[in-house]
Structure 1
Amino acid sequence: MMAHTQEVSMERLHLDQIDRSILAALTEDARVPLVALASQVHLSRNAVKQRMERMERQGVIGGYTVTPGHAGGSPVSAIVLVYRTDRMRGGAVIAEISQIPEVRRCDVLSGDFDLLVMLEADSMDRIGEIWEMLAAVPGVANTVTAVSLTRVVDRA
């Protein structure tokens, strides 16, 4: 789990070294127990909790997120370009796509294809199942799918 920090000037918010240490520890593991975090920064559990709450109010900490792991190895990524029969006049196709948990992103495009759907699944079999689901959605006229072989840059 990682703590999401907002792009806020830390100097402007008067964050001291202890605040920065707390942020660094939460960014590394947002599930770190308060007792362990307090021991790391040599403060009481309550003092650390108050500092975290203050940083949340200031927008320095924007939330805590679970990043799903992939127990079976590396995830499989694919891009599906979708051509719609209705040329984006209704929301049914996007509503169907948004129900698929492996969809990481869906963009409306200009040009020949209407949607760019980015998938991340545990296996090629699951990518195939999702492709079949997308192709069967009423309003989808055609798809083109590309599977990622190797990720060389990841700024997520």
Structure 2
Amino acid sequence: MKRILDRADERILAELTRNARIPHAELAEKVNLSRNAVRQRIERLERDSLILGYTIVAGEGKPRTAGVTALMFVYRHDRMRGGEVIQALKRLPEVVSCDVISGEFDLVVRVDASATDRIREIWQEVSVLPGVRDTLTAFALSSMIKR
């Protein structure tokens, strides 16, 4: 059953999107609810998979480890029955997104790794998966917009 969000849930999600570390008391004040009501709503949103996790996005000038981003385009033998390829990609922690796309290739996979050698290892793993017919990998030279 698909859950319908009320205005308070939408405001909670909007505030958490802006700052996932906001204290419940401060969030409660912003959305005009009690701290306990906010806590219960957040727990329900998590249980209903409307909140799947929390993350850190490093800003400009923040120390971060050097990394490499690549886009891997994957063509499967059978577009309709190629779910095992997606399951294998889910198990690779460096895979940060995987989208089904139209056109020549079936999937576009974004890979964030510590080094180009790790991208090569991932490419080797993916290219030999049962169901994968072909791949094309492109390295990101720089990131102009990252949200």
Task: Write the letter of the residue equivalent to 1:99.
Answer: R
Report whether the alignment pairs 1:77 with 2:69: yes
* In structure 2, distance between residues paired with 1:132 and 1:112: 21
Aligned to 2:133: 141
* In structure 1, distance between residues paired with 2:121 and 2:64: 18
5+ residue gaps, structure 2: none
C-alpha deviation, 1:52, in angstroms: 4.4
C-alpha deviation, 1:142, in angstroms: 1.0
* In structure 2, distance between residues paired with 1:96 and 1:121: 17
Q: Secondary structure at the match of 1:129?
A: helix
Q: Structure 2-normalised TM-score? A: 0.63
- Overall identity of the aligned pairs, in %: 32
Report whether the alignment pairs 1:153 with 2:145: yes
C-alpha deviation, 1:85, in angstroms: 1.8
Q: Which runs of 4 or more aligned residues in structure 1 lie more than 6 Å from their structure 2 counterparts after TM superposition?
A: none
* Partner deviation per Cα, 1:31-58 (whole Å, 9 max, x = no partner): x7x8xx88xx9xxxxxx85364266379
Q: Which one has the bigger strand percentage?
A: 1
* In structure 1, distance between residues paired with 2:73 and 2:99: 10
5+ residue gaps, structure 1: 1-6, 42-47
Aligned to 1:67: 56
Of the three residues 31, 36, 40, the one matched with 1:50 is 36
Q: Structure 1-normalised TM-score? A: 0.60
Q: In the comparison of the two structures, how many residue pairs are matched?
A: 126
C-alpha deviation, 1:8, in angstroms: 7.6
Matches within 5 A, 1:3-22: none
Measured on the aligned residues, the alpha-carbon RMSD in Å equals: 3.7
* Partner deviation per Cα, 1:69-114 (whole Å, 9 max, x = no partner): 7x86233111000111223323211111111111111111221111
Rg (Cα) greater in structure: 1
